Chains A and B, each alone.
Chain A
Amino acid sequence: MARSSFTVALAAAIVVSSTGVAFAEWPEKPIKVVVPFRAGGTSDQVTRAFQAAIEENDILGQPLTVVNVGGHFSIGARQVMEAEPDGYNFLTIHIALMGGEGGGIFDFGYRDYEPVAATGQFCVLPMVRKDSGIDSMEELLAKAASEPDTLIFGANLGAINHMGGIMMQNLVDGAKFRFVQIGGGTANFTALTGAQTDATVLSAAEVANFTRMPDGSENPEAQIKPLAYTGPDRVEHLSDVPTMTELGYDMNYCIESWWFAPKGTPQEAIDGMAAALEEASQTPRITEFYESKMFAPVFRKGDDLQNSLDATWAAIEPIAKQASQK
């Protein structure tokens, strides 16, 4: 904590000292966006789609340079937190930032950045095997409650799917899954298909890809099926799957892509970037991208974003703590 407050103080000092200088037209040089994950993942695809949309339509007049910082995502996130707040450093990340802080993996969080925008949202679906004898969310949770700690739930411990599983078991008193480290979406698809695990959550795009034919009908070869959707409304291509709310469960679990800048970044750059992202999200490249990834076209900035971040943190912090306790 000491370090982050020092960073804030330092950042504030820089802002104060630079207010006297007239800020030339932003942006006047290429803008660096750090993706704290390797190339090819969802965060990387979102960032690169926006990069292409902004450049193709000449929205900013300067290119975005996407830099993938691999290893644990806290490394890239911290790089941006400590970067020069000159309006040319940005970070794209998602709920993992809050999961990591809540779980005590690192000692900084979303409050140590300037929020810029949220672009697009995807929600998840609890999955079981078709031959499991479980046909509804109710049956799954009832089984988790009557035989606690026997249903094997495939997850990436501490990450999105693990927190989703914890939220699910919190819905019914006494329900408990046995969480097992499997990994991300494809690894869990593999493990569930091979009957190594009994349940998991997958993103809408993964479910559509693994269980549906191109025309939206069911793929007869798929071994697994979704039970519910954690978004506010039913999702296209999976419109036969009910939402958790419809089933009477108070659970909404969607993941947004967040754009942050270092604390002390000039307001002009924050607003400029947010406006550029908003404009880019209207372009065909992004709308098509959202459609193919089954993202909801959510866009947030300013107070709306701040409120949404605070609300997410309030909901996720206890879940993340629970996740880290095992």
Chain B
Amino acid sequence: MIGDLGGALAHIFTPLPFFYVFLGTVLGIVVGAIPGLSGAMLIALTLPLTFYMEPVNAIVLLVAMYVGSITGGLITATLLRMPGTPSNVVTTFDGHPLAMSGRPGRALGLGIAASFVGGIVSWIVLLLLAKPLSIWATRFGPFEYFTLILMAMVLIASVSQGSMVKGLIAGFLGMLVSMPGVDPSAGQPRLTWDWYVLNGGLKLLPVLIGIFAVSQIIGDIVSIGKKIDRIDANLSGMLMSFRDWRRQAFNMLRSSVIGTWVGILPGIGASIGSIMAYTVAKNMSRAPEEYGKGSEEGIVASEAANNATVGGALIPLISMGIPGSVIDAILIGALMIHSIQPGPTLFLTNADVVWAMIAACLVANVIMLIVMMGSVKVVSQVMYVPRTFLLPVILVFCIIGAFALDNTMFDVWVMLGFGVLGFAMERAGFPLGPFVIGFVLAPLMEEKLRSGLMMTAGSIEPIFTRPLPLLFLSIAVILLIAPFIRAWRQSRIARSGNAPGLNSGEGDSTR
């Protein structure tokens, strides 16, 4: 194994493959950072070009793009509150507040370091446990998925700031918006009002870019005449100190493991990985009230987890030929164009390609760390570019991205429409986080539950009798009631006059 890996690494460090890894990572970062353009899009566009390349080089380029694109999104999520890709939504919750409080360098530095750790942890799992884990993942049935997603869904309750009722309304609105289109379980159109363009439903990317990026742009345009308070750009704290590492180590590791694990499960992507890691981090944190206001732990959890899904998703692809994510499905297409069939025998038929993929994943993570760290100083200035110049450029990219997704104008109108909706919701005090989580998770949850019910002819019994669904369900219930219990206990302590003791033992979580 060491020898194979060494050989693949040696190959990657020859000029041409290294150039491809470097190019792929940098392009991935840039495209990932631009709201509207996603890694899946970049890879799909690059696919035809790889027709004429050596198979190993082609796959190395595409894997590097994958790694870069997941990371790049944190830049705009942090600085502009516009997630570059869907998996960075959770990063906006804390990254942007921290950046706005005058510490953009700190926010980016934490995100980058967490991304790197997430990538490396999942890479190690990929290297050592690919086979057994992917066989285990085939036993994951619809009820397992359903309760797992339910667990993530509980976040709707715990991420909403301010009015709980408004949070829930936003969440349900998001779920409603995910309903039109061809029903994922029965194959029949629903809520389309005989309007054929709605057969494809309202797609994730246009809705997300609309709700987060376009609404932000509208908001900024409305207030463009106002003088914005100049915050001091403070880049100190970009490099994590030893103390930081020690403080975040457990959170990073836990979030990376969650991300890797979610990545291994076919069909659920990086967004869910980061949502889950964030929920768990918040619920285990000693300072949950900081979340949503610039919590460093929150940034770390989200970014470690979404990068960890990359290595995780490569595991079923390499060992079984099953795509763990949308991008992996495109990667499989890329391999097949070169007459390489990913599947259980890939290690026998094309070991060089497998090892090149594994090696590229490692090298791309290292390049990502160097490139991102090296450019933070410059990149964080984006916050201070006059909005008059920045907004039109971003809007143009949003429109290109929405159109390029499926080459239909409808998606562009959807995006603009949701931009207006998002702006209105913000103004009325409805949080956007629950909306997006409802929108992303509801279709998956519905599909899995209905598949499960089809299997059992309508019985939900397996949820309570199989070990994993029962475990997930219990965790979901605990996650749901934990904040209330904590609030209740705190109010009791406060009433009985023990308030000063509240912070004892929490010295290392206060800054």
Contacts and interface: CB of A to CB of B under 8 A. Distances in A.
B186 interface: yes
Contacts of A48: 48, 51, 337
A80 B181 CA distance: 20
A78 B408 CA distance: 12
Interface string B173-198: 00000000110111111000000110
Nearest to B342: A209
B173 to A, nearest CB: 22
Contacts of B161: none
Contact of B141 (A79, A106, A194, A221): A194
A219 B344 contact: yes
B185 A157 contact: yes
Given A48-B51, A52-B51, A180-B454, A105 B349 contact: no
Interface stretch (B150-158, B199-207, B298-306): B199-207
B54 interface: no
A190 B333 contact: no
A68 interface: yes
Contacts of A69: 406-408
A45 B333 contact: yes
Interface in B270-312: none
Nearest to A75: B200
Nearest to A100: B187
Nearest to B143: A196
B348 A189 contact: no
A209 B333 CA distance: 14
Nearest to A71: B200
A186 B321 contact: yes
B138 A205 contact: no
Given A40-B334, A41-B333, A69-B408, A222 B199 contact: no
Nearest to B134: A190
Interface residues of B, number: 56
Interface in A48-71: 48-49, 52, 66-71
Nearest to A289: B339
A72 to B, nearest CB: 4
Interface string B476-507: 00000000000000000000000000000000
A236 B137 CA distance: 31
A106 B330 contact: no
A219 B345 contact: yes
B10 interface: no
Interface string B437-468: 00000000001001100110100000000000
A152 B321 CA distance: 23
Interface residues of A, number: 62
B188 A324 contact: yes
Nearest to A70: B406
A280 interface: no
Contact of B48 (A66, A105, A162, A324): A66
B323 interface: yes
Interface string B149-171: 00000000000000000000000
Contacts of B140: 194
Contacts of B187: 103, 105, 156-159, 162, 323-324
A234 interface: no
A152 B455 contact: yes
A181 B453 CA distance: 10
Nearest to A39: B44
Given A106-B199, A158-B186, 7 more contacts: A52-B51, A68-B406, A78-B196, A181-B186, A194-B137, A196-B142, A196-B455
Interface of B: 44, 47-48, 51, 135, 137-142, 181-182, 184-189, 196-197, 199-201, 203, 266-267, 320-323, 329-330, 332-334, 336-337, 339, 341-345, 348-349, 405-408, 447, 450-451, 454-455, 457
19 contacts: A45-B333, A49-B337, A70-B200, A70-B203, A75-B408, A105-B189, A106-B199, A158-B186, A181-B450, A181-B454, A186-B323, A186-B332, A189-B321, A194-B139, A196-B455, A209-B343, A210-B344, A292-B336, A293-B336
Interface of A: 38-41, 44-45, 48-49, 52, 66-72, 74-75, 78-79, 103-106, 149, 152, 156-159, 162, 178-182, 186-187, 189-191, 193-197, 205, 209-210, 212-214, 219, 221-222, 288-289, 292-293, 323-324, 326
